[in-house]
Structure 1
Amino acid sequence: MTASAPQSPCPTLVAWLGYGGLIPFVALAAASWLDPAHVATWVPGLLAYGAVILSFVGALHWAFAMTHPQLQDAPKHALYLWSVVPSLLGWLALMMVPKAGALLLIAGLLAHYRQDLRLARVISLPVWFLPLRLRLTVVACLCLAVVFVTAR
């Protein structure tokens, strides 16, 4: 099977929603950097948003498992199982001290992108999907890395 089927560029709405979803990451990272007096507010908000987004990207694999008829049972079951891991990682990250939580969220986002790459070897994905996911993942991870500088 191919990694991706030839298709049009990223739909405008998808691009707006994807890049718009980075606004809370960038705003909270900038706020925690520029407003150290309120870092105790900004960092938990950044971590919470990271956990929510990690859960969201996990749900994509659940949707792929449900909707791709070319998947056999074993790969489909693996997708269902993996799809809940990001939510569990996000939940655990919220119970940790901020730096450890940020590290777990970064690791979770990177691991999920790796799973996206593996998925692309099994099913056809739109050509824009992996490049978009990479850009969104990199920015989210960089914003979460700000926690290492700002959190006490």
Structure 2
Amino acid sequence: MNTPFDPRLPRSAAWLGYGGLLPFIGLALVAWADRHHGLVWADALVAYGAVILSFVGALHWGFAMALPGMALALRRNAFVWSVVPPLLAWPAVMLEPQLGAPLLIAGFLAHLWQDHRLAGQVPLPAWYLPLRRQLSGVACLSLALGAFSITH
């Protein structure tokens, strides 16, 4: 059984994390394949990306609540940061995909940077950063492909 700081990726986290990439990949591909409805698919992709970026932001809220021994300033910063991704995601769904997708990509990359900063200051599971890098990379690539599909 995995403990919170076991270096092995828990099976449930792997299934849920990688499974969560299926809508990113599927929507990006269908936006390319179905040019007639490409805007609809790209809008759906941006909407899904906004939901996931908001979820990812909440991870830092959870860390701030659950990690023992976290310095007060770091805990406060994690709470504050946790609301930034939803604040980026919300306007992204109101923009055209060519603008909303880059905003989400910036949000995913900024959050990954915040993940690395946090991991340098508190003990996070060894599997967390590699998983976050992989998931964010595929999400960003899918968002870029989906938004680009309707411009060509």
Task: Please tell me the TM-score bracket, short chain as reference.
Answer: over 0.9
Query: Cα deviation per residue 1:23-68 (whole Å; 9 max; x = unaligned)?
Result: 0000000000111111121011000000000000000000000011
Identity %: 53
Query: AA paired with 2:126?
Result: V
More divergent stretch after superposition (88-97 vs 108-117): 88-97
Does 1:119 find its partner at 2:118?
A: yes
Specify the alignment match of 1:50 in structure 2: 49
Contact 2:5 2:124 in 1 (8 A): no
Structure 2 residue aligned with 1:36: 35
Q: CA deviation at 1:80?
A: 0.4
Match of 2:75 in 1: 76
- Cα distance in structure 2, aligned partners of 1:14 and 1:84: 23
Greater relative contact order, per chain length (Cα 8 Å cut-off, separation 6+): 1
For 1:110, the equivalent position in structure 2 comes to: 109
- 1:99-139 CA distance string (max 9 Å, x none): 11100000000000000000001110111110000000000
2:20 corresponds in structure 1 to 21
Separation in 2, partners of 1:26, 1:98:
16
Can you give the 5+ residue segments of structure 2 that lack an aligned partner in the other structure?
Answer: none
What is the alpha-carbon distance in structure 1 between the residues aligned to residue 130 and residue 56 of structure 2? 15
The farther-off stretch of 81-90 and 94-103 is 94-103
Is the 2:24–2:139 Cα contact (8 Å) retained in structure 1? yes
How far apart are residue 87 of structure 1 and its match? 0.3
Aligned to 1:86: 85
| TM-score, normalised via structure 1 length | 0.93
Q: Name the aligned partner's letter for residue 58 of structure 1.
A: G
CA distance in structure 2 between the aligned counterparts of 1:50 and 1:6, rounded to whole angstroms? 28
Equivalent residue, structure 2, for 1:96 = 95
Query: What is the TM-score of this pair, normalised by structure 2?
Result: 0.93
d(CA) in 1 for partners of 2:85, 2:41? 22
Unaligned runs of 5+ in 1: none
2:53–2:85 contact (8 Å) kept in structure 1: yes
* Equivalent AA in structure 2 for residue 126 of structure 1: P
State the aligned residue count.
Answer: 148
